[in-house]
Structure 1
Amino acid sequence: MKIAVIALGKIGLPLAVQFASKGHEVVGVDVNADVVDLVNKGVEPFPGEAELQDRLSELVPAGALRATTDYADAVPGADAVVLVVPLFVDDEARPDFGWMDAATRELARHLTKGTLVSYETTLPVGTTRERWKPMLEEGSGLTEGADFHLVFSPERVLTGRVFADLRKYPKLIGGLSEAGTAKAREFYEAVLDFDDRPDLERGNGVWDLGSAEASELAKLAETTYRDVNIGLANQFARFAATAGIDIYQVIEASNSQPYSHIHRPGIAVGGHCIPVYPRLYLWNDPEATVVRAAREANAAMPGYTVGLLEGAHGELSGQRVAVLGAAYRGGVKETAFSGVFATVQALKDRGATVLVHDPMYTDEELAKLGFDAYHLGEKVDAAVVQADHAEYAKLRPADLPGITTFVDGRRVSSAEAWPGVTYRVIGKA
């Protein structure tokens, strides 16, 4: 097959590589000429994605994968077009379709008969049918269901382990017609491999959910569940701390029963998915009080954690405080919706001198994010763990000279590792 992948970001590029590795001719489209240039040189444009560089080094020289900024070069005659263009959402749960609209209109201009179009970007329910179908039909002059087929098939992977996740989880599809769904099944079965999953009654593979709307909701549901679950864990943790209870023992005990799956509390919920997709769900269902309350609870955790520091340390005005971790989660060089921003602001609001450390970022990169860099070994009065980088589990008082208070926002350490230092962790008095 000839396949076009639109948007070569941290999901789109690994998808393009996966498709090419199955023997198909793949052209990636991106508006960023620097990304296109790097891909065509066989160089990964972003670090940290397992297997990506090795696969690029093999596929690009072999001519199986190339990149372009020109839709006219990639889309005409394609058997399938997969879009993974970002969708942005503001704090009021309003989606900004700007980039996706522009990409869809450009795709429509060059769409030819017989193409399967699959959107993988997470969307509010109804978007595929009510927004993309008329936009593609108007711009192309073609008719969906007759001249081309449109489906929604959400990405279900995490950056850093995309190829493993593609094999591990069922590929969900939802079409606007039976014929489109059949083409989507045929396509994804030809470009993906699936691990054996005896735990799944339906088995691993391509799962037809019956409609684009059901497929859209499935993605929103699985991520919103996690946000609500974490919000509940954070509520439990805040209460446990006031009652002298170790919430981690409670969670372990509760989860020993197979119907309990309580997640872990923490300083923040970050990334492109968990803090974002509940807002998309709220766009469809603004009366979802449980979802809204969980989102508010999780958004309040950086401020709550800084409050823990203030309660343990005392007045923060004039104190040097290191925030450990700019990334939204350990081992991933990404700051999308990271708790670092709210944590730093809450500390500044209390008059602290705030410094940020992250082993994955240079001083210059931290400066571009608006932070002053902290280096281990420099004097500091207190520290807050914001990201669970593996390196932070090894820290000891000597690494932060002068420290008197250590607030472990991710429970990467323990009180025993901090003799002579006031140690606090969320959910434990």
Structure 2
Amino acid sequence: MRICVVALGKIGLPLAVQFAAKGHEVLGTDVDERVVTLVNDGVEPFPGEHELDVRLKKAVADGRLSATTDTVSAVAVSEAVVIVVPLYVDADGTPDFAWMDAATRDVAEGLRPGTLVSYETTLPVGTTRTRWAAMLEEISGLRAGRDFSLVFSPERVLTGRVFSDLRRYPKLVGGVDVASARAGVDFYESVLDFDVRDDLPRPNGVWDLGSAEAAELAKLAETTYRDVNIGLANQFARFADSAGIDVLKVIEACNSQPYSHIHQPGIAVGGHCIPVYPRMYLWNDPGASVVAAAREANAAMPGYAVTRLAEAYGDLAGAEVLVLGAAYRGGVKETAFSGVFGVVGALRSAGAVPCVSDPLYSDEELAALGLTPYAGQEVTAAVVQADHAEYRETGVADLPGVRVLVDGRRITDPARWPGVRRIVLGAPAPAEEAYVTPLRPR
């Protein structure tokens, strides 16, 4: 089969490589000429995706994968088209469809009868049928469900572990009609591998959810659930701070029975998914007060962490404060909706002079993000924003001037911070050492 993958980003490129590994001929398209050139040279355009470098080189060397900026021509010679173009929402939660619209127009211009079109980008419920089907039909002159198949099939992977997640989780598919759904199921069964799991209500593999709308909602629901869960955990942590309770022990105790699965609290919720998709859901369902409250609670955590710092440190005006970690998640070079921006903003509002360091980013890269790189100067306070493994070994010997440390990720070792006021969110101040070793049943 010849497959066109539209947008070779951190999800699209691994997908293209996976399809090629199953013996298909894959044409990847992207508007960025640099990305296209690197892919054709067998060089990964971005670091950090496990196994991508080796797999990409093999796919290109075997002649199974090539890239181009000409989406129209690539679609015209393909039997299946998978679209993974980013969709963002603005500050009010309104989706910005500009990039998706442009990609869809290109697909429509190259579309021919018998082709399967699959959208994997997370979408508001109803978008596949009401927006994309209409646009594809108007431009191509073809009819969805009659002349070509149209499905929505959300990506359900995390950057850094895309290939393992593709095997681990069921692939969800929803068509605009029965024939489209059948074509979508057949396609994904031919391009993916699945691990056998016994803990699922249905066998692992490709699941037909019955409609494009159901598949769209499934993606929004599973991601929104995580945001709501984390929001609740953060509310528990803030109360635990005021009551002198170790919230980590409480959460572990609650999760010891099967009806509770409370997530971990923390200084921020970042990434392309969790901060974004709840707002996309609210665009569909503006009356969802639980979702709105959770999003507000999570967005407030960077400011809360700085408030805790100020309570321990005193007036932050003029204080040199180091923020440890620009990435939104430990070990992943990605700053999409990272808590670093909220923390730095709150520090500046308090009159502090924040700087940032991150083992994954150069000073030039940090500066390009609008952050002030740490230049080795003496700092009197520090805030752990990302849970990079390196911070387990970081201590006062590395930052001898630090008087107060706020650990927003519960990753620092208290033994490495003697003489420093160490604050852990959701942890009582007199017994912070208790949070390094979680409670275990006897």
Pairwise TM-score range, normalised by the shorter structure: over 0.9
Q: Name the SS of the counterpart of 1:75 in structure 2.
A: helix
Residue 204 of structure 1 aligns with an amino acid whose one-letter code is N
In the alignment, the residues of structure 1 paired with residue 90 and residue 392 of structure 2 have an alpha-carbon distance, to the nearest angstrom, of 34
Q: Name the SS of the counterpart of 2:76 in structure 1.
A: coil
Find the counterpart in structure 2 of residue 363 from structure 1.
363
Q: Name the SS of the counterpart of 1:399 in structure 2.
A: coil
Find the counterpart in structure 1 of residue 196 from structure 2.
196
Is contact 2:303–2:343 with CA below 8 Å preserved after alignment?
Answer: yes
In the alignment, the residues of structure 2 paired with residue 371 and residue 175 of structure 1 have an alpha-carbon distance, to the nearest angstrom, of 44
| Deviation by residue 1:50-90 (Cα, 9 ceiling, x = unmatched) | 01000111110211000000023310131100000000101
Please report how far the alpha carbon of residue 93 of structure 1 lies from its aligned counterpart in structure 2 after TM superposition.
1.0
| Deviation by residue 1:329-355 (Cα, 9 ceiling, x = unmatched) | 100000000000010010011111111
Find the counterpart in structure 2 of residue 219 from structure 1.
219
Find the counterpart in structure 2 of residue 274 from structure 1.
274
| Deviation by residue 1:119-150 (Cα, 9 ceiling, x = unmatched) | 00000000000000000000100011111010
Please report how far the alpha carbon of residue 91 of structure 1 lies from its aligned counterpart in structure 2 after TM superposition.
1.9
Q: Name the SS of the counterpart of 1:67 in structure 2.
A: strand
Residue 364 of structure 1 aligns with an amino acid whose one-letter code is E
In the alignment, the residues of structure 1 paired with residue 265 and residue 148 of structure 2 have an alpha-carbon distance, to the nearest angstrom, of 46
For this pair of structures, how many residues does the alignment match? 428
Is contact 2:326–2:357 with CA below 8 Å preserved after alignment?
Answer: yes
| Deviation by residue 1:40-59 (Cα, 9 ceiling, x = unmatched) | 00000000000100011111
Residue 143 of structure 2 aligns with an amino acid whose one-letter code is T
1:152-191 → structure 2 map (5 Å cutoff): 152-191=152-191
Is contact 2:393–2:413 with CA below 8 Å preserved after alignment?
Answer: no
Find the counterpart in structure 1 of residue 260 from structure 2.
260
Is contact 2:381–2:404 with CA below 8 Å preserved after alignment?
Answer: yes
Find the counterpart in structure 2 of residue 402 from structure 1.
401
Please report how far the alpha carbon of residue 318 of structure 1 lies from its aligned counterpart in structure 2 after TM superposition.
1.0
Residue 101 of structure 2 aligns with an amino acid whose one-letter code is D
Residue 251 of structure 2 aligns with an amino acid whose one-letter code is I
In the alignment, the residues of structure 2 paired with residue 134 and residue 256 of structure 1 have an alpha-carbon distance, to the nearest angstrom, of 49
In the alignment, the residues of structure 1 paired with residue 105 and residue 82 of structure 2 have an alpha-carbon distance, to the nearest angstrom, of 14
Mark the runs of 5 or more structure 2 residues left unpaired by the alignment: 429-442
Please report how far the alpha carbon of residue 361 of structure 1 lies from its aligned counterpart in structure 2 after TM superposition.
0.2
- The answer to whether 1:234 aligns with 2:234 is yes
In the alignment, the residues of structure 2 paired with residue 417 and residue 227 of structure 1 have an alpha-carbon distance, to the nearest angstrom, of 32
- The answer to whether 1:95 aligns with 2:98 is no
Find the counterpart in structure 2 of residue 7 from structure 1.
7
| Deviation by residue 1:196-237 (Cα, 9 ceiling, x = unmatched) | 111112110000000000000000000000000000000000
Please report how far the alpha carbon of residue 400 of structure 1 lies from its aligned counterpart in structure 2 after TM superposition.
0.7
- The answer to whether 1:43 aligns with 2:68 is no
- The answer to whether 1:110 aligns with 2:110 is yes
Name the % identity: 69
Mark the runs of 5 or more structure 1 residues left unpaired by the alignment: none
Please report how far the alpha carbon of residue 415 of structure 1 lies from its aligned counterpart in structure 2 after TM superposition.
3.1
Judge which range, 18-27 or 348-357, deviates more.
Answer: 348-357
Find the counterpart in structure 2 of residue 412 from structure 1.
411
Which ranges of 4 or more aligned residues in structure 1 deviate by more than 3 Å?
none
Find the counterpart in structure 2 of residue 140 from structure 1.
140
Find the counterpart in structure 2 of residue 62 from structure 1.
62
In the alignment, the residues of structure 2 paired with residue 201 and residue 96 of structure 1 have an alpha-carbon distance, to the nearest angstrom, of 36
In the alignment, the residues of structure 1 paired with residue 107 and residue 30 of structure 2 have an alpha-carbon distance, to the nearest angstrom, of 12
Is contact 1:404–1:422 with CA below 8 Å preserved after alignment?
Answer: yes
Is contact 1:330–1:387 with CA below 8 Å preserved after alignment?
Answer: yes
Find the counterpart in structure 1 of residue 391 from structure 2.
392
Q: Name the SS of the counterpart of 2:193 in structure 1.
A: coil
In the alignment, the residues of structure 2 paired with residue 250 and residue 62 of structure 1 have an alpha-carbon distance, to the nearest angstrom, of 53
C-alpha RMSD of matched pairs (Å): 0.8
Is contact 1:378–1:401 with CA below 8 Å preserved after alignment?
Answer: no
In the alignment, the residues of structure 2 paired with residue 291 and residue 216 of structure 1 have an alpha-carbon distance, to the nearest angstrom, of 17
Is contact 1:378–1:400 with CA below 8 Å preserved after alignment?
Answer: no
State the TM-score, normalizing by the size of structure 2: 0.96
In the alignment, the residues of structure 1 paired with residue 202 and residue 323 of structure 2 have an alpha-carbon distance, to the nearest angstrom, of 45
State the TM-score, normalizing by the size of structure 1: 0.99
In the alignment, the residues of structure 2 paired with residue 127 and residue 54 of structure 1 have an alpha-carbon distance, to the nearest angstrom, of 36
In the alignment, the residues of structure 2 paired with residue 224 and residue 30 of structure 1 have an alpha-carbon distance, to the nearest angstrom, of 29
Please report how far the alpha carbon of residue 92 of structure 1 lies from its aligned counterpart in structure 2 after TM superposition.
1.0
Residue 296 of structure 1 aligns with an amino acid whose one-letter code is E
In the alignment, the residues of structure 1 paired with residue 330 and residue 110 of structure 2 have an alpha-carbon distance, to the nearest angstrom, of 41
| Deviation by residue 1:10-51 (Cα, 9 ceiling, x = unmatched) | 000000000000000000000000000000000000000001
Judge which range, 287-296 or 309-318, deviates more.
Answer: 309-318
In the alignment, the residues of structure 2 paired with residue 415 and residue 238 of structure 1 have an alpha-carbon distance, to the nearest angstrom, of 21
